[in-house]
Structure 1
């Protein structure tokens, strides 16, 4: 209590019971209202503030708090009680808490709850006891709202009465224990507090249920809502309610068993959980598969001492707390019943656990070795089936079993001589089995195979090996012999029948290939570009493979300078005197880019473009081409002139955008592959667009025959990985491909420092009413045609319908093709154009440039006039009909500072071979089926040379097929290694019901205006 300023004056006398003191003061009134819990009611009394140290001065009426600023409704509530009682209180006097009696009133719990609802605990007139009561009332109300209350039954004077109480859960218990320290003067002890909390819980629960008072349908329900006796079945109800209360109390208690190794090394890190995960989930235990026993000596074998006892430790989590051993809990009484219930349930659902010996120091159990074996073999699964979790030591999870292949370091002779040894060079190869990354000798392998179970002690550490993986790896090794082999022979071993289901670990580089890290790269002074560190690393890697006569796949992200790295390689070889022509086959749109960059950065190279009617022909054509340093041609021209090109002794053959030859059965692919060369390089930013067969085609171009025939590759890799997500097959493929593929992403730490950020933004563009009407009509017509069709006709109907729906989402005039206006009454007929209008306003007002992509040339033609009006300038539209010269002019104009602020491009025509870094905004007006194609288009802006953050916006009509395609494409972005196949083809295989769900127009797709 606070003490007012004391001055001399007359005594004001007041009897205050045993602690009565006579006090004389000149008052500074500050009345405060106090509360105390007494025998089922709340006592309220008022302190006047007319006091000095060592005294109290009670007011004759509790309404005196009105003078201290108490709200009017509080004063009116208190004024309704005219009868004054003597209230027994305990107050601090002269440094000690002493009993006293003061005048006051007694109110019901219901009235006290009302008073607490009117009380601002920060106000000066609120005494400590009332403040504590208000806090308790608020806390209990929160528990009631959260469902932490249970019904209870009590018998008094021969009658059963029902009431509500807080659930006896650890959460409630902990809160109550914490609250007790703040309740001095309100309650005397914990039992007193528990009775008050029960009364508050009963009142708050009845208040919450009051709206149901008119609909009570049972005696118990009536008693719990409005009160009254339970007139029938009281004893049975009491038992049932008691069981319900115990179950509710256990709801916030999680009990988990953990097996502790006999050494006692539980690896505890201070939170008591040890090998289980810090949040108690314990992936090690919960994710472990049943089916292991115990076997092993200090190395791998020998029987474990049968007298050893393993501790099955009981861990407990209360509320949101972490798992802790039962014995470490500060208060085990609140969870004791729950723990005993779980232990009893565990014994009932798996009876062998009943043979365990109770530990003397708590609830833990002690298990002999054979029972641990049985527990891990069958008990874990049985217990989990009944909701009882068992955590095993982290080392007991299934450890990785693999076959590791190593290649001995070769001699260094001829490395710099220019001799190209190629993949047919012999190298010393060694095969070994590794378990948990530990190489095993023959004795250890045999011990593991002979073990009675998969729980073994491997070099002092308990681990769980996978018996199936062990047997498969052993069978593979039995068919292998170490010694000198070639790369194709190594690849054939990895693709053999014995390799199925075996994880094979190989080095990322083949040791018979000179190390790229120490490979010197001497660039001549006339090579005027400055290579970034990762580009220099790429040139070293290409050089090391070239010296070994091994083909390479440079698969860097779009925009990271693959062209520059090949030019640097060529210049470096010229400086070393390694001469010979290089043939670059590229999409026609990139031929000019190659010529321009070669002239800019490697001006000493003799460059010849082999394309068009003026290209080399006649008997001397091969000789003239062979005299050049760099010959540039398109895929189409190379296919037509394959015989001529095959007659040139090429030093190197480079396939740019090598995914162009991803289908080896096409005439273009066959023609390119047929051109002989000493060394081959495939350049691609997307080595796998849709299928793993595409990766094989690119690798087969670089190193013919490495991955075997197409049918063998499909059977050994493509089908297992694409259809079954076979990780063992994926690991073998990675082991095979890794030495020949170099891929750096823009997100790589080595690269990201050289590139600005890229921000992806989805812009929702709801359909207008006109669009929604058209969309629904197309859906109905499409589904009707699909239901009436079969086979190819059905697929065609689906694809045609999807195309029509995407056109509707773009603009009604795009779908209708009627040449109608883009606007109607000054308003946009398309939600996308309305959204685009806002985006353009933001970009153009900032003085920045934007690149727009659409997959439909017709849509581009439709919106071009609108774009030119918004940009107040001409807008270049790059599409498949633009000539190479026109394309180059568009790029040059847009890249100039004074060029147009907006450029429009069709996705296919503008998606590759361009550098458009003057723009720092990209807008995709519609979605393509393949996210890799969109990424290529975006990379026209987000590439080396870009200095600003790039914002990539995608316009999507929500609630439409575009919305669902967007979700599918976002999921498809992570399939660069394990692909699901073409999306468009997959959609044509959908059942009618799934197709209807895909194209359905939902409410979020309609613009409300």
Structure 2
């Protein structure tokens, strides 16, 4: 079945603008596009639509909770369109616990939930204002399952009288001063409606039904006592409490003590785990379990339980708390105590909730964390409160405050021997946090060995960043040769950090022979498919600790989450089958998401750019040079062209030499972009270009976040190929702007990009798109090739980074490692005067003024 996709937003939600094939999905898409909250409101009165994705199911749950609360609002018939409704704390907690792993989940707060109630309430107010009949009829037309309560209420509260420990009062809702609804004792109805007998009979009609289902209420009706305040014995209160479900079916709302509503969870077995620190750390750490029986937080001894079994069933007041004496439950608790007296591993303790079926939850013990375990999990879930450990001397960078938190968290996870997932948003600096951690690790264990596995497109970046931030870190790069050669290099290597690619990790069998101190996966979504050969091979590798880095949300497919944690902390989420069974129950029991979040929270650190605490640490514009390796074909063409042209440069002079040099620069740039651009062929295989591979990596992450990107190139002939490639990656077409696009069409493209419809990218030529356009819907900018004129590049970037932009802008500048691109970028960065004056004035002409030796040194491809 085709799933309708929803996105949670800061203000509410919207449908993802996907083109649906099935009629059912098309129907909903049209309805939500026309009137989103009206459609959601109407859906709440029907069965859950099976075609909704997890976000849609959550929205349905919000709307369903709203309609239930609305129907049970006192005096609804009196207040009608002036009804006020705010979700209570219990409802808010349930909804917060039910937020699934979806895009925009970070926006769901208490304020967000209250906002959705207000918007749904506005729909009700509009409809009921123009509805001619009674509110009860309005809801009956919406759903036969909903019954608006009558205006009569029964209240039961605790009292201080020893013989009559409960007080009972029947009230009804009526309009007070100012038209507001108020509750008054039922006896006042006899006065208010003394001249309107029909209204009095209508008001009291539900009491006849109540008398039929409850002997207690029937007796009070017959004697007339129901119209006055009453004192209840414990037995009378117990009888009334057991009658509550039947009374509410008669339309009478019963206000009763919370402890009765929660009587099963308030009186249960509690198992305290991990009071003392275990002798060994890690997921295999052995914790002691200490079972006890509690009521309302007050512990009871086994003898006190046996004493209760000697009493008749009913209500009993023990240690300042009222409880229900239920013999069957008490006997089961005593029997269960024996099962939970002993030891358990930390792994089994953490994953127990995955194995608990929803139908078993009422009988499951309440598990609490002892002093050591509670303190540990609290510190891992709140890493900002951890004790600070200084950044090592070998680290030559400066960490932002949130990066410092990430560094401290990684150190603690390493001390504990836990696998860690660093899942910060793209642009928040996961690499620099890892390098600081590696320097600290090296200081502790200089002869240690760490394996880093990355996509091939990121090899150059890691080399550059390591040299910049951790220059003393010894590296071994296992890439660029056949597996047997790389295996020999691995065996001979003494490097602290070994870096290889996912593809080579499958081929170099000797990687399995090393027990690594730590294995780190960058772009760890590469192992999201648990059945793939790549995933299975990487999970065979041996290490003491494991780290997964991913900027791509893990929100979209829970099987991806299982695979990631199967690598990090095997067994935490149970077996694949156990986890599948758990996930199947989430649709009917979405509160289970809270369990899942609670389990993985200690092992996952995710910060997003929308978090106000993070934004305050960030500049508005984040610029990054991405060093891209050339593919073998690019390297061969590059060297061949340079060799063929070097002699022509030597033999020429003046304008002829200048023309040869500029043509050479142009062709080298084309090769760096893609071999087919230089060769004039049309295939454009992504595997033949490091830039295309990296573009895909970035675009996939941007697509997951439903964000938007501008891709600039100076080559008009490349725009169409980039457009086709990005359309494939994003699964939808963006737009292209270059000098050949008419002004009218260009305006339409910009308007579409700036609209609420999701247009994921624009490909722009620097000259046509570099000025005059307002493209603030984009918060990513990629310079696919370099103009070598900073002012021109900055003008292009400012299409997104300008007034009206409310997000941080991430700017990527692609540079082919070892090529002329890297050398000129380094030259511009080091010589500000050259960049501002010479380059700004003369474009690339300054390169033609170099001597032959200087020119060849600049253009030569470095290994």
**What is the deviation of 1:354?**
3.2
Contact 2:619 2:808 survives alignment (8 Å): no
Residues 537/369 of structure 1: CA separation in 2 closer, same or farther (3 Å cut)? same
Which of 582, 591, 597 in structure 1 is aligned with 2:450?
Answer: 582
* Structure 2 residue 154 is the aligned partner of structure 1 residue 257: yes
**What is the deviation of 1:680?**
0.8
Contact 2:167 2:229 survives alignment (8 Å): no
In structure 1, what is the equivalent of residue 683 of structure 2? none
In structure 1, what is the equivalent of residue 403 of structure 2? 535
SS of the residue corresponding to residue 323 of structure 1 reads: strand
Contact 1:503 1:732 survives alignment (8 Å): no
Which runs of 5 or more residues in structure 1 are unaligned?
A: 1-168, 172-250, 265-303, 414-419, 759-806, 840-850, 855-859, 877-886, 905-915, 924-937, 944-1009
1: CA distance, partners of 2:746 / 2:314: 68
1: CA distance, partners of 2:774 / 2:521: 33
In structure 2, what is the equivalent of residue 316 of structure 1? 173
CA deviation digits over 1:585-632, x for unaligned, max 9?
23334433333332332222223443334999256311454x223333
CA deviation digits over 1:738-770, x for unaligned, max 9?
443334455656545435899xxxxxxxxxxxx
Greater percentage in helix: 2
In structure 2, what is the equivalent of residue 941 of structure 1? 810
* Structure 2 residue 245 is the aligned partner of structure 1 residue 381: yes
**What is the deviation of 1:258?**
1.6
* Structure 2 residue 466 is the aligned partner of structure 1 residue 598: yes
1: CA distance, partners of 2:490 / 2:347: 32
**What is the deviation of 1:662?**
1.8
**For residues 695-714 of structure 1, what are the structure 2 equivalents within 5 Å?**
695-714=561-580
SS of the residue corresponding to residue 427 of structure 1 reads: strand
Residues 566/475 of structure 1: CA separation in 2 closer, same or farther (3 Å cut)? farther
Residues 939/617 of structure 1: CA separation in 2 closer, same or farther (3 Å cut)? farther
Contact 2:483 2:504 survives alignment (8 Å): no
In structure 2, what is the equivalent of residue 397 of structure 1? 261
Greater RCO (CA < 8 Å, at least 6 residues apart): 2
Which of 502, 518, 528 in structure 2 is aligned with 1:635?
Answer: 502
Residues 326/658 of structure 1: CA separation in 2 closer, same or farther (3 Å cut)? same
Contact 2:248 2:254 survives alignment (8 Å): yes
SS of the residue corresponding to residue 554 of structure 2 reads: coil
Contact 1:585 1:638 survives alignment (8 Å): yes
CA deviation digits over 1:306-357, x for unaligned, max 9?
x666322425341652534439999964799699547732431121323228
In structure 2, what is the equivalent of residue 178 of structure 1? none
In structure 2, what is the equivalent of residue 207 of structure 1? none
Which of 205, 218, 222 in structure 2 is aligned with 1:345?
Answer: 205
In structure 1, what is the equivalent of residue 285 of structure 2? 425
SS of the residue corresponding to residue 617 of structure 1 reads: helix
**What is the deviation of 1:455?**
6.1
SS of the residue corresponding to residue 651 of structure 1 reads: strand
SS of the residue corresponding to residue 350 of structure 1 reads: helix
RMSD, aligned CA = 5.5
Residues 466/733 of structure 1: CA separation in 2 closer, same or farther (3 Å cut)? farther
Which of 680, 684, 706 in structure 1 is aligned with 2:546?
Answer: 680
**For residues 455-470 of structure 1, what are the structure 2 equivalents within 5 Å?**
457=317, 459-462=319-322
In structure 1, what is the equivalent of residue 760 of structure 2? 853
Contact 2:522 2:549 survives alignment (8 Å): yes
In structure 1, what is the equivalent of residue 220 of structure 2? 356
**What is the deviation of 1:692?**
2.6
CA deviation digits over 1:23-75, x for unaligned, max 9?
xxxxxxxxxxxxxxxxxxxxxxxxxxxxxxxxxxxxxxxxxxxxxxxxxxxxx
Name the TM-score, length of structure 1 as normaliser: 0.44
2: CA distance, partners of 1:466 / 1:895: 81
Residues 381/170 of structure 1: CA separation in 2 closer, same or farther (3 Å cut)? closer
Tell me which moved more, 743-752 or 533-542.
743-752
In structure 1, what is the equivalent of residue 349 of structure 2? 490
SS of the residue corresponding to residue 485 of structure 2 reads: coil
**What is the deviation of 1:666?**
0.4
Residues 394/317 of structure 1: CA separation in 2 closer, same or farther (3 Å cut)? farther
* Structure 2 residue 589 is the aligned partner of structure 1 residue 725: yes
**For residues 16-95 of structure 1, what are the structure 2 equivalents within 5 Å?**
none
Residues 724/653 of structure 1: CA separation in 2 closer, same or farther (3 Å cut)? same
**What is the deviation of 1:462?**
3.9
Contact 1:555 1:684 survives alignment (8 Å): yes
**What is the deviation of 1:580?**
1.4
Residues 565/469 of structure 1: CA separation in 2 closer, same or farther (3 Å cut)? farther
Q: Which has the larger Rg?
A: 1
2: CA distance, partners of 1:253 / 1:511: 47
Contact 2:187 2:228 survives alignment (8 Å): no
CA deviation digits over 1:659-680, x for unaligned, max 9?
2212221011012111111211
In structure 2, what is the equivalent of residue 658 of structure 1? 524
Which runs of 5 or more residues in structure 2 are unaligned?
A: 1-76, 80-147, 622-723, 776-780, 813-863
SS of the residue corresponding to residue 397 of structure 2 reads: coil
**What is the deviation of 1:511?**
6.7
Contact 1:707 1:713 survives alignment (8 Å): yes
CA deviation digits over 1:397-447, x for unaligned, max 9?
225457544202227x8xxxxxx8533333333344565555554456667
Residues 518/312 of structure 1: CA separation in 2 closer, same or farther (3 Å cut)? same
Contact 1:529 1:601 survives alignment (8 Å): yes
2: CA distance, partners of 1:449 / 1:822: 88
Contact 1:346 1:383 survives alignment (8 Å): no
**What is the deviation of 1:820?**
14
Contact 2:451 2:516 survives alignment (8 Å): yes
**What is the deviation of 1:543?**
1.9
2: CA distance, partners of 1:504 / 1:894: 64
Contact 2:290 2:340 survives alignment (8 Å): no
Contact 1:310 1:369 survives alignment (8 Å): no
In structure 2, what is the equivalent of residue 326 of structure 1? 185
2: CA distance, partners of 1:596 / 1:824: 39
